[in-house]
Amino acid sequence: MSKIALVTDSTSYIPADLVQRYHITVTPQVLIWGPETFQDGVDIQPDEFYTRLKTATIMPSTSQATVATFVKIFQGLLDQGYQILAILVSEKLSGTINSATQAKAALPAGVPIEIVDSQSTAMALGFQVLSVARALEQGADMEEAVSLAHKAIGHTGVVLTVDTLEFLHRGGRIGGGSRFLGTLLNFKPILELRDGRIEAVERVRTRGKSLSRLVDLVEAQIGGRTPVRLAALHANAEADARGVLEEACRRLKVEESLLSIVSPVVGTHAGPGTVGLAYMAGM
């Protein structure tokens, strides 16, 4: 295996067994809840987060992984003789890439660190990271790995449905004009990650129809490309996510399928009840 270390951030929420299998370093984002500060996926886990959110009187907020955190991670890997490729959440959703860039600048000039904007998050980001991890296992060098990371951006996507747009609007992750899209006559909004930002796609009348529509949209976006890798994502809505994944696997020729719970930091912005379908197709 190439002496290249892969770094991502906790919004990807790649299943733990795959993180371990491919020796991926996951940088924790920051969750702020009143006077308390947590490292995403380290100090607070999704089940605990969503249980607490149900009765919370103070809503949590988030912050990107700090410069100091990236310096510590980068320096530790450099000390072990690694080159580093960091594939991180879209800079239009988070300041994470800015933190990583500042951390690189704080280290000696010429350190072998490459930083790639995934233009994505959740398992759409996760699939990009995994595609590079598998290439590294086959002996890819840094130039090949960076090229593959950029190529993967155009082969991944995510669509999602939320119970309310209030969480996304409050966190500034969706345009203000779309705030009422989901509340009008109790329609359920369907969103997609487009060019690194969350954008409204359409609205449907019921929860069931919104879940089925996720599969329709992913099928259209894949457009017959193979192989297909899918991940159903959920924020405290596992049964709905399993149903979406099962329907998608029936309708598409799926090489890899995963169920992934949404991390506390992403859940803060998406809100409980969110279900999504992330994909990689054609590579």
Phi, psi for residue 201 in degrees, rounded to 5: -105, -55
pLDDT tier for residue 108 given thresholds of 50, 70 and 90: very high
Residue 2 is which amino acid? S
Adjacent-strand bridge partners of 194: 197
CATH 3.90.25.10 correct for 4-29+64-153 = no
Q: Which of 94-103, 174-183, 218-227, 259-268 has the lowest mean pLDDT?
A: 174-183
**174 pLDDT more than 70:** no
The C-alpha angle with vertex 216 and arms to 215 and 221, in degrees rounded to 5, equals 95
pLDDT tier for residue 220 given thresholds of 50, 70 and 90: very high
List the one residue out of 237, 11, 265, 276 whose CA is nearest residue 158. Answer: 276
Residues 6+ apart with CB under 8 A from 79: none
CATH class of 156-281: alpha beta
**110 pLDDT more than 70:** yes
- The Cα 39–Cα 283 span in angstroms is 33
- The Cα 31–Cα 188 span in angstroms is 27
- The Cα 71–Cα 273 span in angstroms is 35
| pLDDT for the residue 225 | 96
User: Does this chain's domain 4-29+64-153 share its CATH topology with 156-281?
Assistant: no
Give the C-alpha distances (Å, rounded to integers) separating 12 from 58, 69, 105, 253, 283: 26, 17, 24, 24, 19
**214 pLDDT more than 80:** yes
Measured from the Cβ of residue 31, the count of other Cβ atoms closer than 10 Å reads: 25
Q: Give the pTM.
A: 0.91
pLDDT tier for residue 248 given thresholds of 50, 70 and 90: very high
| pLDDT for the residue 177 | 41
Residues 6+ apart with CB under 8 A from 229: 127, 254, 255, 256, 257, 258, 279, 280, 281
**168 pLDDT more than 80:** no
Q: Where are the domains of the chain?
A: 4-29+64-153, 156-281
**163 pLDDT more than 60:** yes
The string over 166-200, giving b where at least 16 C-beta atoms fall within 10 Å of a residue's C-beta and e elsewhere, is ebbbebebbeeebbebbeeeebbbbbbbeebebeb
| pLDDT tens digits along 256-280 | 999 998 888 888 888 888 999 999 9
